[in-house]
Amino acid sequence: MRHFVIVGVLVLLLSILTFWGLEAMGLMPVQASLQAQTVDWMFRLEMAVISFLFALIVVPLVYSLLVFRRKPGDTSDGEHIEGNTRLEVTWTVLPLITVLVFSYLGAVTLGETRRLDPNAMVVNVTAFQWGWRFEYPDYGIQSNKLYLPANRQVVLKMNSNDVIHSFWVPEFRIKQDVVPGRTTEYRITPVQIGEYKVRCAEICGASHAYMVAPVVVVSQTDFQKWVQESVAAQAATSGPDPKRGEKLYNELGCKACHSIDGSKGVGPTWKGLWGEQVKLSDGTTVVADEAYIIESIRQPQAKIVAGFEQQAMPAFTTLTDAELADLIAFIQTLK
């Protein structure tokens, strides 16, 4: 009986100490979204139970090692205890109830993180090797930074141009894969103003580590200001501009497959492409003019360059005419 009392007290002490230690260490990054609060609440509950279970096993284990050690020269056996059915049933049923409760709480909190606000702002996200691009359909803005107003839910509609990526902002806690051929959805309500980063969490090739884009959470007024400035900047542009084309080349992920220095890539190089005779896989040739390049961007499978039959380029159907003109202007400079 004495043993049980000592172990019981020690288990209690160690549970509290472990939980307190983990809390004091600061396990999670900044809590920057409404959903993060739900996730952290659940996580904290899990940590409490884990601390208790940790103590429940480790204390009697270490205690037995110290107290029930074999004395030197003692070759006799321990007590012949084969088992105890009541005890076995207890430690089967109690954990069973615990995991059912946790599954239930998990489902409830999951629902909480997925709660949809009808006034949510929609942002279209395109993921590609290796970058992110954000489009605000309400305002007609394209950006490589994700600007978000605080305290308003945003729904990200996400597509991938090539392989599977995953949208993760550690400070928001939530993670969602971005899968080619389908649209996945990510609901978040930022609450903490600050600069964060979206980090691709699903391995997506060589530069996976660097597939990062800034996420800026600003106040509602600052957000409106940013919208007005961006719209104005886009309206002020006149005529095709190779500088903007180059920016698109980098941001859209063209550079992952198409080189601009003539080196061989997954797709044909852009160096010297403009006005060239291009050999197609069906044996015919075509002149690389405006119509051909636009078609190759919008419907890449329409004409395939000889030697590149293996790779299917994704269709970039969302680009505006102005953006296409910028890209062509950029290609024209690559002599």
Partner 1 sequence: MKKILSLGLVRGLLWQIAGTAAGALLVTGIRALMGLNPWGSFLFTEPAWVVGALTGVIAFVWGVGALTDWFKWALGEETPEHREDPPGWEKYFGVSLDHKVIGIQYTVTAILLLLVGGLFALIFRLELAASGMQFISLQLYNTLMSLHGMVMIVGILLGVAGVMNYLVPMLIGAHDMAFPRLNAFSYWIAPPAAIVLLSSLALGGFDTGWTGYPPLSTRSPVGIQMFFVGVWVSGWSSILGGLNLIATVMRLSAKGMTAFRMPILAWASVATSLISLTATQLIGLSFQLVMFQRLLGMGFFDPAKGGNPILFQHLFWFYSHPVVYVFILPGLGVVSELLPVFVRKPLFGYRWVAMSSLGIALVGFLVWAHHMFTSGMNEYLRVPFMYSTLLVAVPTGVKFFSWVATLWKGKIETPTPMLFVLGAIVVFLMGGLSGPPNGVVTTDLHLHDTYFVVGHFHDTMFGGYIFPFFAAIYYWFPKATGRRMSEKLGKLHFWLLFPSFLVMTFLMMRVGLLGMRRRIADYDPALGLDFWHLLITISAFLIAASVLVFLYNFFRSIKHGEPAPGNIWRSRSPEWQVPSPMPVHNYEEAFEVVGEPYDYGLPGSTYIRFNGKSH
244-278 exposure pattern, b = at least 16 Cβ within 10 A, e = fewer: bbbebbebbbbbbbbbbeeeebebbbbbebbeeeb
Site for partner 1 in 74-93 (CB under 8 A): 74-84, 87-88, 91-92
Site for partner 1 in 225-264 (CB under 8 A): none
Longest dimension (CA), the chain: 95
Is 2 near partner 1 (CB under 8 A)? Answer: no
Q: Smaller CB distance to partner 1: residue 123 or 256?
A: 256
Q: Closest separation between CB of residue 190 and partner 1, Å?
A: 16
Site size toward partner 1 (CB under 8 A) is 86
Cis before residue 130, ω within 30 degrees of 0? yes
Q: Smaller CB distance to partner 1: residue 158 or 327?
A: 158
Cβ-based burial of 71 (10 A; exposed 0-12, middle 13-18, buried ≥19): exposed
Q: Closest separation between CB of residue 334 and partner 1, Å?
A: 25
Q: Which stretch binds partner 1 (CB under 8 A): 48-56, 117-125, 227-235, 281-289?
A: 48-56
Q: How many residues does the chain have?
A: 335
Q: Smaller CB distance to partner 1: residue 98 or 333?
A: 98
Residue type, 259: S
Site for partner 1 in 9-38 (CB under 8 A): 25, 27-29, 38
Instruction: Give the tokens for residue 293.
Output: 């390049």
Site for partner 1 in 175-214 (CB under 8 A): 175-182, 184, 197, 199-210, 212
CB 294 within 8 A of CB 209: no
With CB under 8 A as the contact rule, the residue among 10, 102, 241, 242 that binds partner 1 is 102
